[in-house]
């Protein structure tokens, strides 16, 4: 039987697309997001328009009508980021997630998947989440995972929580009891060792068995000139760029400010050979590197 899913904070459909790639017999029956631009992209991707209702306005009866088995949630991360005020439950942007958590004991979906930034697990919102799940009878497992662990050459460490209500209808390697331990690997997944590890981001006890793919496998031919970084940008703050090469197996996390700001927004590609290097004291030496941005599709 095909399972039904609700995708909250749907954005452009990352959770939906991952669900499709997983091969699980499940379909998203409704998505929810208040960002009109994201909803247009979501419609382009899946030919299904998300609801623009605020999540706080959704009642128990509204959600019961979908008879969903799986809830996918990626609530706003700003209340939990290291750069933010870390106000957690006291941040207005957390209200919608707290509203959903208040409905969980009444709706009891069989499966829940939650994604957020690393640091969420230290918040009072995380305490609320685990309390709600435990009191409602869920078994949950928590992870710190990054695309690099799945052979994708981009570092984007994130917190995940998978919760299930016994008995399970989907076979998966999640433990049979809840644990406060945060795993940095997926049990019995062939990409990882079977060693458990702590939530320490520097832990190396679960390194992937295979290396990441090279960036060149994700590059599109014929668009280099379109994304070349202007000389005036290079001469301004160009020394702050994180530079990678087509044969690199890593890149920095991309943010929504990529292409507008430089530091900490994502890597750029050097088209010139690695032997061509810049002088840290001379910004004009960046020009021969032939640096370009990654395209949105890349």
Residue 77 annotated as catalytic: yes
| Torsion sign across C-alpha atoms 210, 212, 218, 222 | negative
Catalytic option among 77, 161, 212, 253: 77
Residues carrying an active site annotation = 77
């Amino acid at each position: 039987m095909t399972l039904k899913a609700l995708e909250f904070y749907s954005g452009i459909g990352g959770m939906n697309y991952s669900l499709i790639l997983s091969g699980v017999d499940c379909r998203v029956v409704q998505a929810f997001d208040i960002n009109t631009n994201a909803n247009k992209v979501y419609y382009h991707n899946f030919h299904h328009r998300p609801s623009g209702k605020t999540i706080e306005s959704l009642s128990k009866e509204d959600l019961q009508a979908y008879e969903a088995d799986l809830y996918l949630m990626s609530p706003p991360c700003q209340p939990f980021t290291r750069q933010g005020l870390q106000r957690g439950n006291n941040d207005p942007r957390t209200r919608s997630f707290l509203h959903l958590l208040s409905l969980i004991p009444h709706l009891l979906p069989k499966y829940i998947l939650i994604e957020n930034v690393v640091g969420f697990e230290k918040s009072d919102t995380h305490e609320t989440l685990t309390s709600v799940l435990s009191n409602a009878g869920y078994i949950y497992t928590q992870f710190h995972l990054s695309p690099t662990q799945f052979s994708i050459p981009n570092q984007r460490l994130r917190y995940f929580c998978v919760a299930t209500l016994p008995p399970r209808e989907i076979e998966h390697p999640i433990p049979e009891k809840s644990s406060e331990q945060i795993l940095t690997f997926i049990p019995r997944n062939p990409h990882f060792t079977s060693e458990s590890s702590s939530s320490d981001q520097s832990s190396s006890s679960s390194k992937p068995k295979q290396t990441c793919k090279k960036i060149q496998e994700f590059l599109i031919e014929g668009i280099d000139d379109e994304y070349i970084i202007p000389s005036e940008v290079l001469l301004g703050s160009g020394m702050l760029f994180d530079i990678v090469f087509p044969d690199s197996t890593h890149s920095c996390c991309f943010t929504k400010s990529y292409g507008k700001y430089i530091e900490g927004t994502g890597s750029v590609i050097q088209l010139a050979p690695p032997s061509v290097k810049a002088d840290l004291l001379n910004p004009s030496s960046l020009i021969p590197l032939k640096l370009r941005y990654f395209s949105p599709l890349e």
